[in-house]
Amino acid sequence: MTGKKYLFTPGPTPVPPEVLAATAEPIVHHRSPDFRPIYERCLARLREVCRTERDVLLFTASGTGAFESAVANLVSPGDPHLVVSCGNFGERWAAMTAAYGADVDHLRYAWGETPDPEDVRARLRERVAKAVWVVHSETSTGVVSDLQPLAAAAKEAGALIVVDAVSSLGAVRCETDAWGLDVVVSGSQKALMTPPGLGICAVSEAALAATGTSPRYYFDWERTRKAQAKLDAAFTPSVSLVAGLDVALGLLLEEGLEAAFDRHVRLGRAARAGAKAMGLELFSPDEDRSAVVTAIRAPEGVDAGDVVKGLRDRFAMTIAGGQGELKGKIFRLGHIGWFDVFDITTMLAAVELVLTDLGADVERGVAVTAALEAYERAPVA
């Protein structure tokens, strides 16, 4: 049908109409009384979503920009840092910290593995680190790490813990204060149901006190923190995106964070159950924590890129392919943010048709039922 499109990637994600409407409001001046209440409410809602009493810094930048703020503020040349990676984004942070001159100890897992807190503990016994850098939800593989024990391992060794929660914040539990997370980075275009363009960085007192000597200006935490405290943004923010994010966070908090976490667990269950019923092999872990994106291996003889292309050409449906070494091998179904179970059944039905087109031997007509049943089944613990 002309004009009907489906966005089923793990970011950017579909944006609710109320949020789109807010972004389409006439532009207001960022230092005027038209903007300040929106800014204030948005920052307060961000603290609620991050579950922190501390400052949440808001940058007009993508998630990588917000992450770079953490690197620029915490890394001084020659500092020892431990970067834990198990996929594309962890590797990006290893490269970025190294680019700022950090002496990087890279605890590198194969793509698709889940980091083990005991390994972090062992590495920190061998070598001190100023900070441990971890990815909560590794979007390239679908692995969601068990964040609390990873943070505990860093804390025990006296290191700061910096978390990439770009694709998890608002979808999977991330207790900034209760788990002692020093820095939590996210972006507007994932589970926060807002267009791309805002980067979020929750920062602890300890992290603010540990800033180093790398050159920085736009991303200087202290400059942004002071400006936000007066509701007088340091630079011109994307006022339209802040207005949209404010509405989106309102929707999320109205649903309730616990209900949203529960919904995401069920969406993940539904996607995995449907894929398995079709006879497909999961690449992402078959566990409740894996609630952000379901990564599926392309069946024997099928290039995953052709599945992505087939969905786009036949149904105007965008899903994600594999990144880096997983290109052509997996395809990924995103389910964060403004998603319900019928988004899952729609994508499963389309995947089934496209795989059949491509000559794959899949079980027809069972995925949707399996997904619906998995969504409804046993309560989330």
Near ligand PLP by CB under 6 A, which window of 56-64, 243-251, 307-315, 320-328? 56-64
Q: Is 11 in the site for ligand PLP (CB under 6 A)?
A: yes
Q: Which of residues 64-123 bind ligand PLP (CB under 6 A)?
A: 64, 89
How many residues sit close enough to ligand PLP to count as binding (CB under 6 A)? 12
**Exposure on the CB side of residue 369, measured as CA atoms within 13 A:** 6
* Least distance from ligand PLP to the Cβ atom of residue 248, Å: 15
User: Whose Cβ is closer to ligand PLP: residue 35's or residue 133's?
Assistant: 133
User: Whose Cβ is closer to ligand PLP: residue 138's or residue 246's?
Assistant: 138
* Least distance from ligand PLP to the Cβ atom of residue 200, Å: 10
The span from the CA of 183 to the CA of 201, in Å, is 7
The span from the CA of 57 to the CA of 31, in Å, is 17
* 137 Cβ neighbours under 8 A, 6+ residues apart: 143, 144, 145, 164, 165, 166, 167, 168, 171, 172, 292, 293
Supply the DSSP string of 13-77, one letter for each residue: ----HHHHHHHTSPP--TTSTTTHHHHHHHHHHHHHHHT-SSEEEEEES-HHHHHHHHHHHH--T
User: Whose Cβ is closer to ligand PLP: residue 69's or residue 137's?
Assistant: 137
User: Whose Cβ is closer to ligand PLP: residue 49's or residue 370's?
Assistant: 49
* Least distance from ligand PLP to the Cβ atom of residue 11, Å: 5
According to CB under 6 A, which one of 52, 60, 62, 290 is a site residue for ligand PLP? 62
Near ligand PLP by CB under 6 A, which window of 14-22, 45-53, 59-67, 209-217? 59-67
According to CB under 6 A, which one of 112, 117, 142, 187 is a site residue for ligand PLP? 187
Task: Name the amino acid, one letter, at 320.
Answer: A
Q: Are strands 131-135 and 80-85 parallel, antiparallel or unpaired?
A: parallel
For the chain, the first-to-last Cα distance in angstroms comes to: 41
User: x/- binding map, residues 135-174, to ligand PLP, per CB under 6 A?
Assistant: x-x-x------------------------x-xx-------
Task: Report the interface residues with ligand PLP, using CB under 6 A.
Answer: 11, 62-64, 89, 135, 137, 139, 164, 166-167, 187
